[in-house]
């Protein structure tokens, strides 16, 4: 391989890893919710869209730096998730399995169509001067916003891990995930924990939306593209497996980026989907998970 080819390879790899980091962030929220409640949140992409539109609205209204929107989007996402779990999903009771699919689909439609009413269907973006800047390591170019997104992803996932493994709340969450009845008997208020977890999951989707906003256009149904990525990531890593979601995200990012560069850019989305289907069919416990009982 000559120098140009090597640089191109590393360029593709870095691009893939950074995009994959964002996928990991989206997938972590989904996987967390699945891990505790055993439901797949079909509105996850729409929560991401909410994060993007909060950023857009604040930028338009106050010229607020997109990354400062995190201070609004993260808590707002948490609150929204908490309320939805408390007042919608918790009411499904023993119909949670089938009911959550429909309820979250319905919530997703409500969110995307409300955004459509509020902001119109036109794709919109924000213009921050540093968004077009790039870093250069050797020959490899990386856009500043993608780098910030990557750092944000690492920070958010580390913070979640600190909460899960170093705090009393984290113990309660892990207990609820493992055995809700047992946790309840030990005095854990599992209804509250589930609402907190759903809030955290939504909050992660919203954070991902904020980090994506300087990089992309947004439109009300933008979540659709990302919700499939989130599904792929979580299935690759094993549903409910948080470190798996991170690795799954990186793998998906690299597969897409490499496939787009070396095979065909037109089928960029197909590589992930095909890997997804293969993993779903051959190893439903995920690429990296140890064999767990089938759900």
* Residue 276 near residue 232 (C-beta atoms within 8 A): yes
Residues binding other proteins: what is the number (CB under 8 A)? 46
Can you tell me the distance from the alpha carbon of 17 to that of 246, in angstroms, rounded to the nearest whole number?
11
Interface residue with other proteins, options 57, 124, 169, 224 (CB under 8 A): 224
Helix 96-119, helix 223-237: angle, nearest 10: 150
Can you tell me the distance from the alpha carbon of 51 to that of 219, in angstroms, rounded to the nearest whole number?
12
Interface residue with other proteins, options 37, 103, 172, 247 (CB under 8 A): 103
**Minimum CB distance to other proteins smaller for 68 or for 90:** 90
Residue 140 sits in the site that holds other proteins (CB under 8 A)? no
Query: In the range 107-126, which residues lie near other proteins by CB under 8 A?
Result: 107-114, 116-117, 121
Least distance CB 151 / other proteins (angstroms): 31
Least distance CB 53 / other proteins (angstroms): 14
Does residue 286 come out as left (phi exceeding 0), alpha (psi in the -120 to 50 range) or beta?
Answer: left
Question: Interface with other proteins by CB under 8 A: which range of 15-23, 59-67, 89-97, 244-252?
Answer: 89-97
Can you tell me the distance from the alpha carbon of 48 to that of 44, in angstroms, rounded to the nearest whole number?
7
Task: Look at residue 143 and give its three-state secondary structure.
Answer: strand
Can you tell me the distance from the alpha carbon of 99 to that of 231, in angstroms, rounded to the nearest whole number?
18
Residue 99 sits in the site that holds other proteins (CB under 8 A)? yes
Query: In the range 226-285, which residues lie near other proteins by CB under 8 A?
Result: 228, 231-232, 235, 264, 266-267, 269-270, 273-274, 276-277, 280-281, 284
Residue 102 sits in the site that holds other proteins (CB under 8 A)? yes
Least distance CB 41 / other proteins (angstroms): 10
Least distance CB 138 / other proteins (angstroms): 34
Both tokens of residue 199?
């809030």
Burial letters 150-162, b for 16+ CB under 10 A, else e = bebbeebbeebee
Both tokens of residue 195?
């609402």
Interface residue with other proteins, options 101, 147, 216, 287 (CB under 8 A): 101
Task: Look at residue 136 and give its three-state secondary structure.
Answer: strand
Residues that bind other proteins (CB under 8 A): 39-40, 88, 91-92, 95, 97-103, 105-114, 116-117, 121, 221, 224, 228, 231-232, 235, 264, 266-267, 269-270, 273-274, 276-277, 280-281, 284, 294-295
């Amino acid at each position: 391989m000559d120098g140009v080819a090597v640089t191109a390879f590393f360029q593709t790899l870095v691009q893939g890893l950074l995009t994959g980091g964002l996928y990991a962030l989206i997938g972590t929220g989904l996987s967390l919710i699945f891990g505790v409640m055993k439901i797949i949140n079909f509105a996850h992409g729409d929560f991401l869209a909410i994060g993007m539109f909060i950023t857009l609205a604040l930028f338009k209204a106050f010229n607020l730096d997109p990354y400062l929107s995190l201070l609004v989007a993260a808590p707002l996402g948490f609150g929204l998730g908490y309320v939805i779990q408390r007042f919608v999903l918790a009411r499904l009771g023993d119909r949670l399995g089938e009911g959550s699919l429909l309820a979250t689909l319905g919530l997703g439609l409500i969110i995307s169509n409300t955004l459509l009413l509020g902001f119109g269907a036109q794709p919109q973006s924000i213009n921050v001067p540093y968004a077009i800047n790039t870093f250069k390591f050797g020959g490899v170019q990386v856009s500043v916003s993608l780098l910030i997104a990557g750092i944000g992803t690492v920070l958010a996932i580390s913070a979640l891990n600190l909460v899960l493994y170093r705090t009393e709340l984290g113990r309660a969450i892990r207990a609820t995930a493992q055995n809700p009845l047992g946790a309840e008997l030990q005095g854990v208020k599992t209804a509250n924990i589930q609402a907190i977890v759903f809030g955290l999951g939504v909050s992660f989707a919203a954070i991902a939306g904020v980090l994506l906003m300087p990089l992309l256009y947004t439109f009300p149904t933008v979540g659709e593209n990302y919700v499939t990525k989130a599904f792929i990531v979580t299935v690759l890593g094993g549903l409910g497996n948080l470190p798996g979601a991170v690795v799954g995200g990186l793998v998906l990012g690299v597969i897409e980026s490499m496939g787009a560069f070396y095979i065909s850019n037109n089928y960029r989305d197909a590589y992930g989907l095909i890997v997804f289907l293969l993993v779903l069919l051959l190893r439903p416990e995920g690429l990296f998970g140890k064999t767990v009982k089938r759900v």
